[in-house]
Amino acid sequence: MIVVADASPLHYLILIEQITVLPPLYGQVIVPSVVCEELQRPQTPEIVQRWIASPPLWLDMHPPQAENDPGLSRLGAGERQAILLAQAIGADALLMNERHGRREARSRALRVLGTLGILDEAAARGLLDLPPALSRLQATNFRVTAEMMQALLARDVARRRQREGGQEME
What's the pLDDT score for residue 18? Answer: 98
- Positions of E strands within 18-138: 29-32, 59-62, 93-95, 112-113
How many C-beta atoms surround the C-beta of residue 157 within 10 A?
12
pLDDT tens for 109-163 read: 999 999 999 999 999 999 999 999 999 999 999 999 999 999 999 999 999 898 8
> What is the per-residue pLDDT for 155?
95
Is pTM beyond 0.75? Reply is yes
Paired residues of 95 in beta bridges: 5, 113
Query: pLDDT tens across 25-49, in order?
Result: 999 999 999 999 999 999 999 999 9
